[in-house]
Chains A and B, each alone.
Chain A
């Protein structure tokens, strides 16, 4: 801390462009994408009358996953506009992006403790199976609720 050093950055041409690097980038970009989705959901909730019918915690809950079951226990009188195809598509996008982001996060955590190549291989393959399974189940839940 005593001597401040200029941070160095490696030019793009000298950076290794492999799958792990792309997933590193995906984690950051998907975070920004989820911010956009949450903002759309919160603005949409305010347009649909959440300002007087929902408290802040309920709006955040809707923002993180715009699924109609998340507003059932609030003071919203008519749920029809909250279960439109637009919100179902937005919820599906949120699910797919969040599942990929989250499962990759689990792989990163596992890599800190599992260092043998075979173990890492097993973690990667089982994470892909787990991710696709959760995406399918989640889509089913969103479109049937």
Chain B
């Protein structure tokens, strides 16, 4: 049964999955978040200007964009890592190294985007 776990929540939070576990959690949160974001975005644009302007005022807020770009870019870059390791399964031995490379790619790309968003958001 999926919901009957043998570990308590406190123990689960202390689970030392380390790098791979962290990417799995962030990938899942990002994917779920994007599905909700895109659904609301399409529906509000479809329903017309009034609703569209209201949701866009949230989406164009710099605080929202900082979170959005984090999860979208992480999902995109982590997804490429998953795709490459899955399509070339012998590379899975180097999964931990691949995750380090992934962070080395993600941090500069996200850092630059976050810098631009912050500078624009804080009246630059």
Residues of A within 8 A of B (CB): 4, 6-7, 9, 28, 31-32, 35, 38, 55-57, 60, 64, 69, 73, 98, 102-103, 105-106, 109, 112-115, 134, 137-138, 140-141, 145
Interface check B32, CB cutoff 8 A: yes
How close is B114's CB to chain A, nearest CB, in angstroms? Answer: 9
How close is B7's CB to chain A, nearest CB, in angstroms? Answer: 15
Q: List 20 A-B contacts (CB under 8 A).
A: A9-B89, A28-B82, A28-B83, A31-B82, A35-B80, A55-B116, A57-B117, A60-B73, A64-B72, A69-B45, A98-B38, A102-B35, A106-B32, A106-B35, A109-B31, A109-B32, A113-B2, A115-B2, A134-B42, A141-B45
Give Cα A4 to B32, complex, Å: 34
Residues of B within 8 A of A (CB): 1-3, 28, 31-32, 34-35, 38-39, 42-43, 45-46, 60, 65, 69, 72-73, 76, 79-80, 82-83, 86-87, 89-90, 92-93, 112-113, 116-117, 120
Q: Are B87 and A28 in contact (CB under 8 A)?
A: yes
